[in-house]
Structure 1
Amino acid sequence: NTYQIIAPLMVSCIISVLLAGWLKKESIYTDKLVRRGINIRRGQDINILKNIPVKSIVRSDILTLPETATLSEIIQKMLSNTYQELFIVNAQNEYRGHLSWKYLARIARDETELENLVVAADIARTDIPTVFENDHLDLVMNLFARYGVEELPVIARNGRPLLIGSVHQKDVIEAYNREIQKIDLAGSISGIARTTASEKTVKLSGDVHLHEIEIPRHLIGKTIRETDIRKRYQVQIVLIKRTGSEQSEHTPQASIFPDPDYRFDSGDHLLVLGSDAALRKFQENRTD
């Protein structure tokens, strides 16, 4: 009937928890997320859109009208196109305002009285914000929700509001879905690679294998676009595991999807798809 054991028991439990956390950072609940490339401690994927710039999905084929266009010309222009929104510019292509079918519907009833009196500059919405190419899509989605539009103007960041193009809500959603698919696929492939860590090879079908290899020396410092690996060696890079000197806080995921402009680093590991013969040719830098 003594309680003296409670204090040492609590201390031993605390030490055990700390030691377990140091030896294995993830719990059984977060380990699956990590395998999918999701780092909840960094908040990396709580909002994926914060990592996607506007310039990656900016549209250049937009509908514009001069600020001197009459109401009749505006309506005729929109009727002859499939665009739901257009942008008003001056003679120097500087952004002056925004118009949409929804907004014009309230004005179109009085077209016969106003068609020769009102010009685009008079009725264009100037409260719709603009975005820059380097802004992230998280900001864009918040603006869509706040202002009830489906398209926002993208302007140059040089002191003058030169209209570059637009960013559309549909494109933002598609970009988000693509990033989710990349994370899921990367996590699935990483899982396959981990389960065969000892052999570093997974047979898929026939002579086609999934191999994990160290970056060949002849690729270090070059980009995927420069090497043209798929055409020269008949090998497809599926995933890049970054452990080299370029890894930083801006690239928290260990596994990334291959990008044509990605420059290989000395510590990289590649997950490649191809036949054994093609893989040997790739590693030996042979193109025969």
Structure 2
Amino acid sequence: MKIKPSIIKHQWPFFNKSSAVNPYPLSDYTSLIFFSVILGIASGLTAVGLHEFIHLMNNLFFPSEFNFSGSLPLPYWVIAIPALGMFFQWLMSHQFPQQAKQKGVVEVIKAVSFRQGFISLKSTIFHFLAPAICMGTGGTVGPEAPAAKSGAGIVSALGQLFRLKGDKLRIFTAAGAGAAIAGVFNTPLAGVFFGIEVVLLNDLHASALTAFILSSVSASAVSRTFLGNQPKFIFNQLILGSYSTFIFYLLLGIGAGLLSVAFIRTSESVQKGFVNLYQKKVNPLFIMIIIGLLMGGAGWWIPDIFGIGYSCINKILAQGFNSPTVLILFILKFFLVILILRSGGFGGIFAPSMFLGACYGYLFSQSLNLLFHLHLDPTTYTLVGMGSMLAGINSVPITAILILFEMTNNYHFILPLMLGTVGSHLISHIALHGSIYLRELKREGYSYVFSRDIHVLRSIKVQDAVRADILLLPESAPSSEVIKKFLDSQHDTIYVVNHENKITGVIKSKTLRYVLAEYEQLHHLLLASDIAEPDVVYLRSEDNLEEAMKIFAHHQLEEIPVLDSADPRRIIGTLHYQDVLNAYNQLLNRLNLAEGLASEFKAIQEDALQEVIPGFSLAEVDVPEAFIGKSLAKLQLRNKYRIDVLMVEEGDQSIFTGQEEGKKQVMPDKDYVLKRGARLIIYGRTLDVVNFKKMAEKS
């Protein structure tokens, strides 16, 4: 489902009171700014709260007297701490199974696209606490998924409190996720593009961009107020090398892309393995405890693997590890992140992606230096590797570039970073045919068409797209008549009916080819019933096009006969697959025009046309006197005047001019009855729109 910012004269419930209560109602744009800032601050506070809660849990389970420098071994009982954390997570999942299933960034995407931006407060609280417990007890995962889920959830709850609904709540919920990322990483620009690339799946409208920018900047300001403005990653001067060595940055990105594909496919395979184990009644607690002990053992061996890993990344940037240790860290992180998250733990993969990239970039540069006696700077390649793995695993090339730029406060390595991230993203995208989030959505059964939900087809009945010209033949028709029918028509299918006019079979042109091959020997023996395939799939006139699309996909058909729902014996025509696609595109175009373009016309005079694309225009007209009291279906405006009614405004004033109390905009269906004083927003070819306006003005 496409996220469609409702730009047309929002009925902001918090502000649009009667003039007696509020004599100075805020404009739509001012209201958008107000809500963006307020909800961005709320999301920022949520991100700060998550950061502090993780820190609190970490101090509780790993006291400051622990020696993490590696000079002295940690006590053996440290191995049990991550296992204890996994136990708490299992307990929460056992007590709140519904909320436990709603994990990760994918749930934010589903909330924005499928649930009008609604996220339950109980789910928000659950995914604030459970990941903090995981990271606080040493789980080597990241904070971005719980931050996005918590930030979006808090904004959703506040939006409902402010009585925001529909598209407005969608926009702010999506913006809340991006703002939380901006807050938790202190990266306002990266927060904006996280919302665009991940939550909106690169499907953005201009009005949503305003909410994203203001929310992310507000959240980042809150984060800097409470957590400071120091860069997360510290390093000395970077040495980029000559332009002749820049090819190595691209090669680094290609390698990161291959590793990203390996990470995603390994993660998916491990998930299938755990699903199979759990279906065989293996206790999830047993599995999670074992993985917790593995995590604890790894942390006892190399303490830097515990937790989010920013301090370890800084050590790699400072070349504080030798290459074998970095390789071990890479292997441990690669598998432990997957095992923790897929077995039932909670957390994100942004920070682990950067950790893996840091290890990979360091090893890449050191290997080339050793093998080919080059002088590549390990620090620069570590940073580029971080961005490359982040882009490859999460399909966020722009976010990866910006997040590294903002987390380092250094833009000198931007060109090498772009080469690495773009190379990694391209390899990952080519190999996987979509992002990790889209793959997860598809596994769960959600259908997307260029990031748009197919459910918009629910609003169209089969009878509105049916073709009446269906070819019918009786069962007793000879094969010669079947062939003649095919030759005399443009149809590719003939339906065979019995004496009760019930379809009993279907003859397709490809079937007829085999008959023609033996026509001389068989034509006097074969009847239509002999040639027809008996398995016929039907639709009823009251079915919707979403149901039809599922049948088309399942049976691989090009057309389906349609029966009258009121009289199942009556055949009213056929529905063609291409007609469903055309109806889908027309509906999306209509919604986009009504919701995305009308806001641009507020300053236009009432008698003006607005050209949308060359040759097609929008206009606003009063309902002609002759149309009052009649439905759009009865008027048949498309057939008679070749125009579409996108919207009807009930009130005395145009939506193109100022504000007005009591005004209502309606997206009409075919049964909508036109009223006196209403105004129509019409769309069509410019000449047809002009002619209709002239007709309406004369009446």
- TM-score band by shorter chain is 0.5 to 0.7
Q: For 1:73, which of 481, 484, 487 is the aligned residue? A: 481
Residue 191, structure 1, aligned to residue 599, structure 2: yes
For the aligned residue pairs, the C-alpha RMSD in angstroms reads 4.8
Distance 1:224 1:112, change over 3 A: closer
Correspondence list, 1:89-238, <5 A: 89-157=497-565, 160-193=568-601, 196=602, 201=605, 204=608, 222-223=630-631
Q: How far has the Cα of 1:258 moved from its partner?
A: 7.2
Residue 56, structure 1, aligned to residue 467, structure 2: no
CA–CA separation in structure 2 for the residues paired with 1:54 and 1:227: 21
Q: Which amino acid aligns with 1:162?
A: R
Structure holding more helix per residue: 2
In the other structure, the counterpart of 1:263 is: 673
Corresponding residue SS for 1:83: coil
CA–CA separation in structure 2 for the residues paired with 1:159 and 1:205: 46
Gaps of 5+ in 1: 1-5, 36-42, 230-235, 244-253
In the other structure, the counterpart of 2:494 is: 86
Q: Is the 8 A contact 1:186 1:257 kept in 2?
A: no
Distance 1:226 1:132, change over 3 A: closer
In the other structure, the counterpart of 1:3 is: none
Q: How far has the Cα of 1:85 moved from its partner?
A: 0.7
Q: Which amino acid aligns with 2:463?
A: K
Q: How far has the Cα of 1:202 moved from its partner?
A: 6.2
CA–CA separation in structure 1 for the residues paired with 2:573 and 2:481: 21
Q: How far has the Cα of 1:149 moved from its partner?
A: 2.7
User: C-alpha deviations, 1:213-263, integer Å up to 9, x for none?
Assistant: 9x999987554578999xxxxxx96522579xxxxxxxxxx652575x521
CA–CA separation in structure 2 for the residues paired with 1:54 and 1:102: 26
In the other structure, the counterpart of 1:247 is: none
Corresponding residue SS for 2:507: strand
Q: How far has the Cα of 1:34 moved from its partner?
A: 8.8
Q: How far has the Cα of 1:46 moved from its partner?
A: 4.0
Q: Is the 8 A contact 2:454 2:546 kept in 1?
A: no
Distance 1:34 1:121, change over 3 A: farther
Structure holding more strand per residue: 1
TM-score, normalisation: structure 1: 0.63
CA–CA separation in structure 2 for the residues paired with 1:34 and 1:20: 17
Q: Is the 8 A contact 1:95 1:162 kept in 2?
A: no
Q: Is the 8 A contact 2:645 2:680 kept in 1?
A: yes
Q: Is the 8 A contact 1:55 1:133 kept in 2?
A: yes
CA–CA separation in structure 2 for the residues paired with 1:228 and 1:166: 22
CA–CA separation in structure 2 for the residues paired with 1:237 and 1:126: 43
Bigger shift: residues 51-60 or 108-117: 108-117
Corresponding residue SS for 1:121: helix
Q: How far has the Cα of 1:109 moved from its partner?
A: 2.1
Q: How far has the Cα of 1:126 moved from its partner?
A: 2.0
Correspondence list, 1:18-29, <5 A: 18-19=157-158, 22-23=161-162, 25=169, 26-27=171-172, 28=175
Q: How far has the Cα of 1:139 moved from its partner?
A: 2.1
CA–CA separation in structure 1 for the residues paired with 2:508 and 2:484: 13
Q: Is the 8 A contact 2:618 2:681 kept in 1?
A: no
Q: How far has the Cα of 1:131 moved from its partner?
A: 0.9
TM-score, normalisation: structure 2: 0.29
Q: Which amino acid aligns with 1:96?
A: T
Q: Is the 8 A contact 1:201 1:211 kept in 2?
A: no
Distance 1:225 1:101, change over 3 A: closer
User: C-alpha deviations, 1:99-135, integer Å up to 9, x for none?
Assistant: 1012222333222222122211123122121111111
Q: Which amino acid aligns with 2:495?
A: F
Distance 1:272 1:131, change over 3 A: closer
CA–CA separation in structure 2 for the residues paired with 1:263 and 1:101: 45
CA–CA separation in structure 2 for the residues paired with 1:55 and 1:84: 21
Distance 1:34 1:115, change over 3 A: farther
Distance 1:86 1:263, change over 3 A: same
Gaps of 5+ in 2: 1-51, 57-124, 126-149, 176-194, 209-447, 611-616, 638-643, 652-664, 684-688
Higher CA-based Rg: 2
Distance 1:104 1:142, change over 3 A: farther
Distance 1:84 1:241, change over 3 A: same
CA–CA separation in structure 2 for the residues paired with 1:209 and 1:70: 54
Q: Is the 8 A contact 2:609 2:619 kept in 1?
A: no
